[in-house]
A and B are shown apart, each in its own frame.
Chain A
Amino acid sequence: MARRVVVTGMGAVTPIGNSVKEFWEGLLEGRNGVDYITRFDASQHKTKFAAEVKNVNFDDVLDRRERNRVDLYAAFAMKAAKEAMEDAGVDLEKLNRDRAGVVVGSGIGGILSFETEHAKMLKHGPRRVSPYFVPQMISDIAAGHISIRYKLTGPNYATVSACATASHAIGDAVRLIRYGDADFMVAGGSEAAICPMGVAGFNSMQALSTRNDDPKHASRPFDRLRDGFVIGEGCGILILEELEHAKKRGAQIYAEIRGVGFTADAYHITAPAPGGEGARRAMRMCVEDGGLNLDEIDYINAHGTSTPYNDKSETEAIKALFGEHAYKLNVSSTKSMTGHLLGAAGAIELIATVLAVKHNVVPPTINYQEPDPECDLNYTPNQPQERVVRAAINNAFGFGGHNACISVSKFVE
C-alpha cells in the first residue's frame, strides 16, 4: 500500500505574526501586514511600501556571532524550523536521523548579503569581501543550517522556482517520503528580498503595486482596482511524516497531504499562459495524484498575487477545471494580508490551507471592494467563512512558468 504523508508540525515567520498561532489569528482577523518600508530609504523607489516581518527576535536560534554569518532569509528559516520541530514534539534521540531530511528553498537567496558585500567590493576592493559572503548568499544554505542544527542526515537540498519554490520543496519532500527515501522531512521556503535591488527590480518589471498613498489597500487580489503585488518576506516550515512513523510516536496530525501537481506553462518568462492553462493542469494533477474528486475540493488557497494578469488567469483556470463546482467552493488569497512572500509563499499558504482544513474555516481575502467582472468566484471577501473543508488546494505559480499545486485533506484512518 502507498505510504501516506501527514503534517505533524508547523512553524512560521510572517509579516502578520512570528508564530503559526499569531499568523493564523492574524488571518482570521484580517490583519494587514503592509506598511511603508523601514529597512532602507525607499524614497527614490517607485514603490515605497512592503510587508516586512516585524519585531522578530533571533536570540533563541542564533547567537550574536552566528547571526552575523547568516543572511536574513536563513535566520527566518532557523526561527520557523525551531517552532516546527518543537510543535512536532519529536524526540531527536529516538529519531532515525538518516531517514530524516530537509528540503527548504528560497526563490532569491541571500540578496541582502549580496548587496552589502557588493557595496564593500566597489568601495574597498575585492579583498574586503567577507569569507561568509558565499555561504550567506546561496539559496540552499537554509537547508544546510537546519540539518546541522538538528543533525538530520537524510536527503538535503533546496528547490528554486521563484514564487513556486516552497511548493516544489514541499512536493519533493512528500515524494521522498512516499518513495521510501525518508520518514520525516522538514520542508518549506524562506525569503528576505525587501532591499533596494529587490524592490527596484520588481518595480522595473511593473510587477509591484504603486499605491503609495494607501499601502494598506495595495494588496487587493481579485479586486477590479488591483495594480500589482506587494513584496513580503518570511518563512514557513512544515514537518511532513510518513503516517505509520507519526502514529508510532503518538504525533499530532494536522492533516494529510494528498497530492502534488507540477507543470510548466512553456509560454513566457513572466506572463501566465492564456486561460491559465498550465495552472489548470497542475491543479488537476494534484487532485488526481491525491485520489480526490474535483467536487471534494471545498477551498482553494489561491496564488492570488493581486497582479492584473495572475488573478484573471487563475480564475479562468479554476473555472475551466472545476466547472459548476468552481462557484460552490471558496477561494481566497491570504496575500491580501501577508503580501507576497515569493519563495516562501507556498509554505505559509500551505500552513493556512492545512489549518482551514483542520478548523473548518476559510481565511478571507481582505481589501476586496470592487468586483471585477473577469473574476467572479467566491473569494471569501473581507470576512473568514466557516464551512466544512473536506479537502483543499494551495496554488503557487512562479516566474519562468512554473506551477506547483498541493492538495490536502482531513486525516481519516
Chain B
Amino acid sequence: MSLEEKVKDIIVEKLGVEPDKVVPEARFIEDLGADSLDTVELVMAFEDEFNVEIPDEDAQEITTVKSAIDYLSKKIQSAE
C-alpha cells in the first residue's frame, strides 16, 4: 500500500468519513467535519503508522489531506 493510500485510510477510519470525500484538497475541519481533538488524534495516528515524531508546530500545518501526505513523504525520505 502506498503512503498516500495509508494516509487516506487513517483519515477515513479516524474521522468516519466516506473514502470519496478524502480528496487531496479536503480540509480536515472545514470539509471533513473534524474538531480540534480529532486533528490531534489524526496526527497521533500518523505518528504510529509511520513511526515518526511530529512536533506540535509541524502538526499545526497539517490541515488538509495533501499537506499530510506531503509532510509525511518528506519526513520519511529525510529519515532514510
A360: interface (CB < 8 Å): no
Chain A residues whose C-beta falls within 8 Å of the C-beta of B47 in the assembled complex: 127
Chain B residues whose C-beta falls within 8 Å of the C-beta of A127 in the assembled complex: 44, 47, 53
- Taken together as a complex, chains A and B put the C-alpha atoms of A171 and B11 apart, in Å, by 44
A248: interface (CB < 8 Å): no
Q: In the complex, what's the smallest C-beta–C-beta distance from B62 to chain A, in angstroms?
A: 15
Asked if A65 and B16 sit within 8 Å, CB to CB, the answer is yes
Q: Which of B22-80 contact A (CB under 8 A)?
A: 37, 40-41, 44, 47-48, 53
Asked if B16 and A131 sit within 8 Å, CB to CB, the answer is no
- Taken together as a complex, chains A and B put the C-alpha atoms of A132 and B48 apart, in Å, by 17
Chain A residues whose C-beta falls within 8 Å of the C-beta of B48 in the assembled complex: 128
Asked if B14 and A65 sit within 8 Å, CB to CB, the answer is yes
Closest to B38 in A: A131
Given contacts A63-B16, A65-B16, contact A132 B37 (CB under 8 A): yes
Asked if A130 and B41 sit within 8 Å, CB to CB, the answer is yes
Q: In the complex, what's the smallest C-beta–C-beta distance from A323 to chain B, in angstroms?
A: 57
A94: interface (CB < 8 Å): no
Asked if A128 and B44 sit within 8 Å, CB to CB, the answer is yes
A39: interface (CB < 8 Å): no
A64: interface (CB < 8 Å): yes
Asked if B37 and A64 sit within 8 Å, CB to CB, the answer is no
Asked if A65 and B15 sit within 8 Å, CB to CB, the answer is yes
Chain B residues whose C-beta falls within 8 Å of the C-beta of A135 in the assembled complex: 37
Q: In the complex, what's the smallest C-beta–C-beta distance from A190 to chain B, in angstroms?
A: 22
Given contacts A131-B37, A132-B37, contact A64 B44 (CB under 8 A): no
Asked if A131 and B41 sit within 8 Å, CB to CB, the answer is yes
Q: In the complex, what's the smallest C-beta–C-beta distance from A6 to chain B, in angstroms?
A: 39
Q: In the complex, what's the smallest C-beta–C-beta distance from B32 to chain A, in angstroms?
A: 11
Chain B residues whose C-beta falls within 8 Å of the C-beta of A128 in the assembled complex: 44, 48
Q: In the complex, what's the smallest C-beta–C-beta distance from B10 to chain A, in angstroms?
A: 13
Chain A residues whose C-beta falls within 8 Å of the C-beta of B41 in the assembled complex: 130-132
Asked if A131 and B40 sit within 8 Å, CB to CB, the answer is yes
- Taken together as a complex, chains A and B put the C-alpha atoms of A65 and B10 apart, in Å, by 12
Closest to B40 in A: A131
Asked if A64 and B16 sit within 8 Å, CB to CB, the answer is yes
Chain A residues whose C-beta falls within 8 Å of the C-beta of B37 in the assembled complex: 131-132, 135
Chain B residues whose C-beta falls within 8 Å of the C-beta of A66 in the assembled complex: 16
Closest to A66 in B: B16
Chain A residues whose C-beta falls within 8 Å of the C-beta of B14 in the assembled complex: 65
Closest to B17 in A: A65
- Taken together as a complex, chains A and B put the C-alpha atoms of A66 and B40 apart, in Å, by 16
- Taken together as a complex, chains A and B put the C-alpha atoms of A63 and B33 apart, in Å, by 14
- Taken together as a complex, chains A and B put the C-alpha atoms of A130 and B15 apart, in Å, by 15
Closest to B48 in A: A128
Q: Which of A41-85 contact B (CB under 8 A)?
A: 63-66
- Taken together as a complex, chains A and B put the C-alpha atoms of A128 and B14 apart, in Å, by 15
Taken residue by residue from 118 to 141, chain A's Cβ proximity to chain B (1 for < 8 Å, 0 otherwise) reads as 000000000110111001000000
Chain A residues whose C-beta falls within 8 Å of the C-beta of B44 in the assembled complex: 127-128, 130-131
- Taken together as a complex, chains A and B put the C-alpha atoms of A86 and B3 apart, in Å, by 46
Chain A residues whose C-beta falls within 8 Å of the C-beta of B40 in the assembled complex: 131
Chain B residues whose C-beta falls within 8 Å of the C-beta of A64 in the assembled complex: 16
Closest to A132 in B: B37
Chain A residues whose C-beta falls within 8 Å of the C-beta of B53 in the assembled complex: 127
Q: In the complex, what's the smallest C-beta–C-beta distance from A63 to chain B, in angstroms?
A: 6
Q: In the complex, what's the smallest C-beta–C-beta distance from A70 to chain B, in angstroms?
A: 13
- Taken together as a complex, chains A and B put the C-alpha atoms of A63 and B40 apart, in Å, by 20
Please, could you name 10 A-B residue pairs with CB atoms under 8 Å apart, sorted by A? Answer: A63-B16, A65-B14, A127-B44, A127-B47, A127-B53, A128-B44, A128-B48, A131-B37, A131-B41, A132-B41
Lowest 10 CB-CB distances: which A-B pairs, in order?
A65-B16, A131-B40, A131-B37, A131-B41, A63-B16, A132-B37, A64-B16, A130-B41, A128-B44, A132-B41
B-to-A contact residues, CB < 8 Å: 14-16, 37, 40-41, 44, 47-48, 53
Further contacts, 17 of them, CB under 8 A, given A66-B16, A128-B48, A132-B37: A63-B16, A64-B16, A65-B14, A65-B15, A65-B16, A127-B44, A127-B47, A127-B53, A128-B44, A130-B41, A130-B44, A131-B37, A131-B40, A131-B41, A131-B44, A132-B41, A135-B37
